[in-house]
Structure 1
Amino acid sequence: MTDEPADAGERAIDLDAFYDALGGRRRAVTAAEIAETVDRSAGVATAGLDELASDGLIERLDVADQSAVWVPKAAASADERITVFEKRREIVVDQPAQYTRALLTQFAHLADTNREGGYIYTVREEDVWNAPYETLTELLATVRSALGGRYEALEEWIGGQWERAHKFRLVTHEDGYVVLEAKSADLLGNIAEPKLADGVLRARIGDATAWVADDRTAELKRTLYEAGYPVQDHRDLETGDDLPFELRPELRAYQADWVERFIDLGSGVLVGPPGSGKTIAALGIMSEIEGETLVLVPSRELAGQWHDAILEHTTLSPELIGEYHGGSKDIRPATIATYQTAGMDRHRMLFDSRKWGLIVFDEVHHVPSPIHRRSASLQAKHRLGLTATPVRETDDQEEIYTLIGPPIGTDWEALFDAGYVAEPEVEIRLLPWGSETHRSEYAAADGHGRRQLAATNPAKRSEIAAILRENRGSKAIVFVEYIDQGDAIAEALDAPFISGETPHARRSRLFDRFRRGEVETIVVSRVGDEGIDLPDAEIAIAASGLGGSRRQGAQRAGRTMRPVGKARMYVLATRGTTEEDFARNRTKHLAARGVRVREAESAAFGDRGDAGSDADEE
């Protein structure tokens, strides 16, 4: 290497080298990282980066201790305006560009949106604790790039939260037991010991270290997280027997990036839209780890899909793959089990007795719930979560990252633009009442009764028929929350209705017929919200939903997220009721990921507004 300048007319560092070093997953690079990529000295790299910055191709940010990082040039829209309220850690963005939204999701939470293109973000403790960066310098570089400048009070608070997230860590002692390490004796004595229940710490082994009971590590992590001190997990857990195999399909670039980032971290949660190939990426992680693997799923249908996916996409032979749930009790080197079964005392000892190299928590947003949380304490060297929708309406989604690992995600819009996933066109349709009688019943009711009357408004049957006529020939799924409503809609459409009451065998047959195209439209209850692979479903119609559940809204839209010609979701809501607000809230998570959401009037009733007519009978 040499420190001599490049020849005249030739850049010392070109833009391609900068993006190669950026690697697709980071938002900033240092001169040292560029130097390593192009095999030049740090001095040449710095000069080359400064040249690119002076030409307006990239941006330089001075972040700490007179060091600098370089970031991609922000592609802000002409209408974009960012206002930062430092004291309440709130960021208001009008007409944000894709680049800006992608940066903000790295360290902030989308709290609200409006129809005029306004986005409101808040920066919470857990957003900093779970930010996907190895250093505070990298995180602050992203913050400054997103906000277009430096906000000292906000950065000081972020720095404090970063420090809190690195006060405690779990390590493995040379004799094999688990140790809690604190940054200081005061932290151990004044924070950890008073907060933790008796028996979690077995004994002090130093001023700032303590022996941890093996079966209480999950409890320790959860307790300290709730106290404001997330624990870094650096235990050296055993992997059990080797399980070598190869992955058959070639990973897409972003999937390979997910695998690489997971291997670097040792644990984490893949957050990507339905259809982005999280299962294939998980199999790629399995093939890298080559250890015995337990896959936890919420349903028997999903267990069967995992079993088929492992056989189809890997070189593992059938005798190495087992299922453990209500229909099968077979533990093998690669085992798929339901959360409920794995958490039962009479079965749990079987799972505890094995040294898993990897545990995969599919639909990981279930983990904070009381039934599923017990499975999170199963021990494994690596822990992988998969979800499109980590948000939970109980606001305990931070436990996902506490118990499993930090988020590893991608920019949804990048996948839409690349054609890997079909971006759904999401439309909220506001409907009048089916008749004056139904409107009067709603006015006389209260509480849950009101919500159910709005959700089951008979006008929705005509609207669904109109939508299906608009999209004639497209495969469609109609989602309902109430059994009676599902029966009525299925009868009107002459389509099958699948609910939790449908026997398992018949449910599987109907889903298979839909996949093969023998049935063009199906009506489903919550059983279709997640864990069911329904490829090529082009239309999703949410006739009624679970209040304002953002997770459910994203899952239902996700049924159309596949690389197909068109993907549309319709959310039906009765005008003038709380269902309007519920519909907007259910689509909020999608808007945060760059999905376009618009509102429209009823197609079946035109501009009739709320005048009402007897539309109950067709």
Structure 2
Amino acid sequence: MDDSDENPSTDRTTVGNQDEPAETPEAGVDTVDDEAIVDGEAAGSGDQADNAKDASDAGDADDADDAVHADDAVEPITLERFYEAVEAEGQSVLTAQQVARRLDTDQSTARDGLDELAATEDLGRLDVEADPVVFYPGEMNDLATQERVVVFPSRREIVVDQPTQYTRAQLAQFAHLVDTTGSDPGTRGYLYRIRQEDVWVAPFEDLEELLGSIRSVLPRRYAHLEEWVTDQWKRAHRFRLYTHEDDYVVLEAANESLMGNVADNHLEDEWLRAPISDTEAWVVESEIAAIKRALYEAGYPVEDDRDLESGEELDVEATTELRDYQQEWVETFLENRSGVYVGPPGSGKTVAAVGTIAAVGGETLILVPSRELADQWTAELLAHSTLDEDDVGQYHGGQKEIAPVTIATYQTAGMDRHRSLFDSREWGLIVYDEAHHIPAPVFSRSADLQAKHRLGLSATPVRETGSEEEIYTLIGPPIGADWDKLFAAGFVQEPEVEIRYVPWRDDAARDVYVSATGRERRRLAAENPAKIEEARYLLSKHPDKKALVFVEYLDQGEELADALDAPFISGETRHRERNRRFEQFRQGEIDTLVVSRVGDEGIDLPDAELAIVASGLGGSRRQGAQRAGRTMRPAGSAEVAVLATRGTSEEEFAQRQMRHLAQKGVRVRETNVGE
């Protein structure tokens, strides 16, 4: 964004690294007799000492793979080899001794080769009295603007500067983005970590495909890392559930030792009816969810190959042609019969779900967070399928209709007195919209629905409570396209995201903040009066754009609505009034809405061109992605401005929320709003 003279600002070129919450320790590993499984290492703490050790590990861990034998010809020191040493060392200014160690040659050879490169100006050379001679790229900018990959194999971390779209797309298939730094060209860096669950759900047919993807982006092969990935891949294919020809469910282990040492140690006796063989056991069907959860926590996700019920037949066909990636989602789901569609808002998860309902062809229960979403689902079903109004019912506080396709709110479905909703029909498919938002009562009820096809929809299937294993085991693994792929194909436009650090302009407000503590401080920072002025400024810069202003607190929402002369929609707004305002916004009759959390989850506002997040930064990363996602659509540019009070915890919260978008390939820049 360009800042005018009336609102001066300075761009920050780097984002201060903030440590992520400590990783959950990996599940304990059981040793088996005929195929010993090696314990994974705990993730490092990330302090400087570990970084220094790991930087050494990055080059030394697997020297045996690339060792240069004494009788081999000495390989010359080229500029490309110098860059290899830079990558391994993790810094761009090196001594001849460091280069020699990294390239596995003697120091004299390294020094001579580096001197030759320095003479051609490909390298810079600096000789400081009392210090060793150091070498660095002749054009530091050349190194800064090209892709560099540094690997820390013992921690399974990968640092990439200026990654290409290809590299980011490959890494997204087997690694988790932990952090990003920088915003301007030459300063952008990404930190990835490969976790066990990333390997378990990697979208590859076999291990060799996965290893091939890893090798395609790393500077060389790392034996220790590949051994760990191989072990995790095998773990994901060690247990499976299948339906016996006599119509009961069997748990099968890959070998006798796994059944004896892993299953026996982690499964309760009452979950198994009887052993069938040394590698198979007849299981209690009502305990299938508990079995899957226990083995997942032990480090062994279960493949579910059971014959699931299709329910009463549903006469329905999809009337909208699916995009290629949506069709891939549906085909993957039909093969697995469970899973969570993961994609940015605007990618058509609901349309893909309608296609899935038609493909399954059984009566369907759809669970949603709000009545507004129930209305939207009804409209989507009628628009994209052959269903008519008599085929679709809603079950919530406003009305209670059971139909071949029934849409219910989580709140109502979680109540014991409405248990008949689950039991009254032979559902063939359960759809969990905004799957990351499922409340505990529905999770526990879902344990009884394991015999059904189960489909979740989510932009980001990660719960801040750490219960993603519940999503994985009770619904299914993630299914989805890489966001970069959708951006590149033009199906969804990448928004411009900016964190704007707003100073205190009111001394009295600043003084109250300084004297406050705890939760009150957070609220005062969120309600910084300067944010009203900043919101006005941003709207004045984009007078033709339809804008959403998100707030956490009702008082602030009302104050902003008055200042901006815009309607305020909150949980206290009557259902009919909400729908009227949303429709006015869609039709362009009003161009600005101030919304509370009611706008975070799935509300269909596809034409928003500007999102201003005025408060709510203490919420989850998923919430940040949802709010930014309200601007994602197939055409036109959209902007997201996140307002954080400078010098408060909001700075860290803003960076944490936006990392979720950076993980999906969205560029995030930062600006200090001028005093």
TM-score interval, normalised by the smaller of the two chains? 0.7 to 0.9
- Are residue 385 (structure 1) and residue 456 (structure 2) matched? yes
What does the per-residue CA deviation read over 1:410-434, in whole Å, with 9 as the maximum and x for residues that have no partner?
A: 1212322332212111111111103
Aligned partner of 1:533 among 587, 604, 621: 604
- Report 1:394-543 matches (<5 A): 394-543=465-614
What does the per-residue CA deviation read over 1:187-224, in whole Å, with 9 as the maximum and x for residues that have no partner?
A: 33332233234532233333222222222211221121
The letter for the 2-side match of 1:91 is I
Q: Distance in 2 between matches of 1:375 and 1:110?
A: 33
- Report 1:214-233 matches (<5 A): 214-233=285-304
* Aligned residue number for residue 230 of structure 2: 159
* Aligned residue number for residue 427 of structure 2: 356
Contact 1:77 1:96 in 2 (8 A): no
Q: Distance in 2 between matches of 1:375 and 1:588?
A: 33
Contact 2:309 2:453 in 1 (8 A): no
Mean Cα displacement is larger for which, 109-118 or 399-408? Answer: 399-408
The letter for the 2-side match of 1:565 is G
Counterpart of 1:160 in 2: which secondary structure?
Answer: helix
* Aligned residue number for residue 174 of structure 2: 107
TM superposition score normalised by structure 2: 0.75
Aligned partner of 2:327 among 247, 251, 256: 256
Aligned partner of 1:95 among 153, 162, 175: 162
Moved over 6 A (4+): none
What does the per-residue CA deviation read over 1:225-251, in whole Å, with 9 as the maximum and x for residues that have no partner?
A: 112111111110221222232211221
Mean Cα displacement is larger for which, 580-589 or 337-346? Answer: 337-346
Contact 2:431 2:455 in 1 (8 A): yes
Counterpart of 2:419 in 1: which secondary structure?
Answer: helix
The letter for the 2-side match of 1:371 is P
Mean Cα displacement is larger for which, 193-202 or 229-238? Answer: 193-202
Mean Cα displacement is larger for which, 286-295 or 471-480? Answer: 286-295
What does the per-residue CA deviation read over 1:127-176, in whole Å, with 9 as the maximum and x for residues that have no partner?
A: 11121223112211111112243211111001111111222111112222
* Aligned residue number for residue 280 of structure 1: 351
The letter for the 1-side match of 2:481 is T
* Aligned residue number for residue 308 of structure 1: 379
- Are residue 371 (structure 1) and residue 441 (structure 2) matched? yes
Counterpart of 2:511 in 1: which secondary structure?
Answer: helix
TM superposition score normalised by structure 1: 0.82
Aligned partner of 2:660 among 589, 592, 597: 589
* Aligned residue number for residue 614 of structure 1: none
Q: 1:417 to 1:176 in 2, by over 3 A?
A: same
* Aligned residue number for residue 402 of structure 2: 331
Q: 1:380 to 1:345 in 2, by over 3 A?
A: same
* Aligned residue number for residue 134 of structure 2: none
Contact 2:293 2:469 in 1 (8 A): no
Counterpart of 1:199 in 2: which secondary structure?
Answer: helix
What does the per-residue CA deviation read over 1:316-352, in whole Å, with 9 as the maximum and x for residues that have no partner?
A: 1221212222222222221212223223333234414
Q: 1:188 to 1:343 in 2, by over 3 A?
A: farther
Q: Distance in 2 between matches of 1:261 and 1:479?
A: 36
* Aligned residue number for residue 650 of structure 2: 579
Mean Cα displacement is larger for which, 521-530 or 174-183? Answer: 174-183
| Seq. identity, % | 62
Aligned partner of 2:312 among 241, 257, 264: 241
Q: Distance in 1 between matches of 2:527 and 2:145?
A: 43
Aligned alpha-carbon RMSD (Å)? 1.9
Mean Cα displacement is larger for which, 88-97 or 206-215? Answer: 206-215
The letter for the 2-side match of 1:348 is R
Counterpart of 2:538 in 1: which secondary structure?
Answer: helix
Q: Distance in 1 between matches of 2:256 and 2:425?
A: 35
Contact 1:355 1:379 in 2 (8 A): no
The letter for the 2-side match of 1:134 is E
Q: 1:544 to 1:536 in 2, by over 3 A?
A: same
Runs of 5+ unmatched residues, structure 2: 1-142
Q: Distance in 2 between matches of 1:292 and 1:139?
A: 37
Work out which of the two has the higher radius of gyration on C-alpha atoms and give 1 or 2.
2
Q: 1:109 to 1:163 in 2, by over 3 A?
A: same
Contact 1:479 1:523 in 2 (8 A): yes
Aligned partner of 2:214 among 131, 136, 143: 143
Aligned partner of 1:182 among 253, 257, 266: 253
Counterpart of 2:350 in 1: which secondary structure?
Answer: helix
1:569 positional shift: 0.5
Aligned partner of 1:267 among 338, 345, 348: 338
1:359 positional shift: 1.6
* Aligned residue number for residue 672 of structure 2: 601
Q: Distance in 2 between matches of 1:167 and 1:77?
A: 44
1:541 positional shift: 0.5
Runs of 5+ unmatched residues, structure 1: 1-75, 609-618
Contact 1:490 1:496 in 2 (8 A): yes
- Are residue 168 (structure 1) and residue 239 (structure 2) matched? yes
Q: Distance in 2 between matches of 1:351 and 1:212?
A: 23
1:380 positional shift: 4.5
- Are residue 85 (structure 1) and residue 85 (structure 2) matched? no
Q: Distance in 1 between matches of 2:461 and 2:341?
A: 10
Mean Cα displacement is larger for which, 123-132 or 76-85? Answer: 76-85
* Aligned residue number for residue 560 of structure 1: 631
Equivalent pairs counted in the alignment come to 528
Q: 1:350 to 1:576 in 2, by over 3 A?
A: closer
The letter for the 1-side match of 2:314 is L
Counterpart of 1:137 in 2: which secondary structure?
Answer: helix
